[in-house]
Amino acid sequence: MSRILLAGSMVAALCVAAATAQERVSATEKGSILIFPKVEIRYNAAGDLIQDTFIQISNDFNEPRWVLLYFVSETCTNVDNDITLTQNEPAYWSAATGLPKGVSPWGVLGQPYPDPEGSTDLVSRGYVVAIAINSAHQPVRWNHLTGVATIVNYQNGDAWEYNAYAFQAIAGSNNGEVLNSTGDLYLNGTMYDYGFNRLLLEYIASGSTAFSGGGQVVTHDTDLTLMILDQDLRQDYEGPFQTKARFEIWNENETSFSGSEYCFTKWDQSLLSSKGRHFLVGNLQTNRGRARIDGVASPVVCGQDSRAYSLLGVAAKILTFSSGDVATAGTNLVGVGTESATIKYDLWSQPEELKAKMNGLGGLQSAPANTMPR
């Protein structure tokens, strides 16, 4: 009897653990919300396109689905589009042109600007949020969306890609079931999956030449993109969303370092070499490091509006060869723990129906929209 009870307890524990694991965002599962944290378009000084980002979304089900897209710039400007994915459709488009899907080109968010990271390029950067909706723009349960972003650099002749973060709808039980009529999406393990509590970053220290060989000296840097999961995408938005990214760092000798931190609002992309401290090989004292990243409140350092937030992120290794060639390889950041977040967006208002009555002259007379027909 005791063996049977023990086995039953183990099965129950495994079921609970499995259920809990499914309530956290993933980059390897399907979902009802997709987030692409990094979109980057580059132009040379002459205005020629030298890098583009291709967004790819698939509907893994045998029925069509509306998807609401928000393109958000580095400066927090956004534009929304809605698309229809037919049954089992794999769709894609260029962020620079919006084609072939026919969505807004990234340029509607503003003109390219000098690269904040110091290159001679002009850039347009930001992220994409995709939400499964119905024809009334209400959020629905549709855990059949997957996404990939591919960044193609025509100048360097290389490309890399990462998976979209996917949030499954927990609420509801049927495909297409409306989750609410307010445009408030709660990523809290009840309506949708939780976000992460912290992110894990594996990196080669900036300035390291650890991957050199074949007659080439290869110098490392890392381009880190972080975004706050809480989003207010409404026209009359509340904000700002500001946090402090706090890093707990270890080197190959298990020596730990603290004190690496910086403030950002909503979204940030930075080279680790620009952050100094233990991101540099001379300070880390080993070639490889790892870090836990937490979005924390810091009224003293970041201001009274700073809050603790769940974060998403992408890290791109930049390898510069002594021959002058540059290659990039990137991936999503792994997350640990759970933290809730909220995404808000504007629902569409429904059009009024024209109601009319005879005006006594053989014609139709318009009636107020709130007047019942006689």
Across the chain, mean pLDDT equals 91
What is the number of other CB atoms lying within 10 angstroms of the CB of residue 235?
A: 8
At residue 348, the pLDDT reads: 82
d(CA 108, CA 105): 6
Quote the pLDDT of residue 364.
Answer: 46
The pLDDT score that the predictor gives to residue 113 is 97
The pLDDT value given to residue 352: 72
Contact 45, 57 (CB under 8 A): no
300: helix, strand or coil:
helix
Task: List the end-to-end C-alpha distance of the chain, in Å, as a whole number.
Answer: 75
Q: What is the pLDDT of residue 9?
A: 46
Residue 240: the pLDDT is: 81
What is the spatial distance between Cα 41 and Cα 228, in angstroms, rounded to a whole number?
21
What is the fold, at CATH topology level, of the domain defined by 22-194+344-374?
Hypothetical Protein Tm1070; Chain: A (2.60.290)
Question: 130 pLDDT exceeds 80?
Answer: yes
Residue 354, pLDDT score: 63
Q: What is the pLDDT of residues 83-128, one digit of tens each?
A: 999 999 999 999 999 999 999 999 999 999 999 999 999 999 999 9
- Which of 203, 312, 219 has the alpha carbon at shortest distance from 264? 312
Query: pLDDT tens digits for 235-283?
Result: 998 878 999 999 999 999 999 999 899 999 999 999 999 998 999 999 9
Q: What is the pLDDT of residue 286?
A: 98
Scored b (16 or more CB within 10 A) or e, 89-104 reads: eebebbbbbbeebebb
> What does the pLDDT look like over 339-369, one tens digit per residue?
999 999 999 877 777 665 544 444 444 444 4
Model confidence at 14: pLDDT above 60: no
Extract the tokens encoding 242: 């500001």
User: Residue 22's pLDDT is what?
Assistant: 57
SS3 content of the chain, % helix, strand, coil (to 5): 10, 50, 40
Per-residue pLDDT at 18 exceeds 70: no
User: Is the pLDDT at 49 greater than 60, yes or no?
Assistant: yes
Q: How many CB atoms lie within 10 A of CB 252?
A: 13
Rg (CA), the chain: 24
Distance (Å, rounded) from C-alpha 52 to C-alpha 38? 11
Domains of the chain, residue spans: 22-194+344-374, 196-339
Q: What number is the average pLDDT over the span 288-297?
A: 98
Percentage of the chain beyond pLDDT 70 is: 89
**Per-residue confidence (pLDDT) for residue 355, from 0 to 100:** 60
pLDDT digit string, tens, across residues 134-155: 999 999 999 999 999 999 999 9
Is pLDDT above 60 for 16?
no
Instruction: Give the integer Cα–Cα distance in Å for 34 and 11.
Output: 32
pLDDT tens for 315-343 read 999 999 999 999 999 999 999 999 999 99
Distances (CA, A) of 269 to 37, 39, 41, 216: 10, 10, 13, 28
